[in-house]
Amino acid sequence: MQLFPCPFCGPRNEREFHYVAEPGKTRPDTTGDITAEDWAAYLYDTKNEKGPVREVWMHLTCRELFVMERDSVTMDVLGSKTLRRTLPAEGAA
């Protein structure tokens, strides 16, 4: 079992966490015309990188979303941050 760091609750059992998405994708502006290509890219394309990755995760216990940095090969956790950078609680890892 691995411990993942929730920026709000600290290190917790990996079973309490859920992978949500790749960060940095911008939802196309739905008030204008969107091409099928742009919409499909937004919905489906993933970087799926091998090595260091940044991902949005949810800690299911406190229901907070946050950004976790980890290595997708070694599974080492490299950091975890709240989504809103303005919050003082930076990286519990």
Partner 1 sequence: MNKTYSALNLFREGLRGQRGWAPAWRSPKPKPAYDVIVIGGGGHGLATAYYLAKVHGVRNVAVLEKGWIGGGNSGRNTTVVRSDYYYPESAALYDMSVRLYEGLSRELNYNIMLSQRGMMILAHSEAEMEIAARQVNAMQINGIDSQLLDTEGVRKLAPILNFDRGARYPIHGAMYQGRGGTARHDAVVWGFARGADRLGVDIIQNCEVTDVIVEGGRVTGVATTRGEIRADRIGAAVAGHSSVLAHMAGYRLPIHSYALQAFVSEPLKPVLDTVVLSPGHGTYVSQSDKGGLVFGGGLDRIPSYGQRGNLPVQETVIGGLSEMVPMFSKVKLLRHWAGIVDVTPDSSPIIGPSGVEGLYLNCGWGTGGFKAIPVGGYMLAHILATGRHHDLSRPFDLSRFTRGRLIDEGAASGIAH
CB of 31 to partner 1, least distance (A): 21
Question: Exposed/middle/buried for 88, CB within 10 Å: 0-12, 13-18, 19+?
Answer: exposed
β-strands 10-13, 17-21: how paired? unpaired
Closer residue to Zn ion in complex, CB, 28/79 = 79
Binding residues (CB under 8 A) for partner 1: these are 1-2, 14-15, 18-19, 36-37, 40-41, 43-51, 53, 55, 72-75
Closer residue to partner 1 in complex, CB, 43/87 = 43
> Which residues are CB-contacts of 28 (< 8 A; sequence separation ≥ 6)?
34, 38, 39, 42
Closer residue to Zn ion in complex, CB, 8/54 = 8
Binding-site partner at residue 11 among partner 1, Zn ion, none, CB < 5 to 8 Å by type:
none
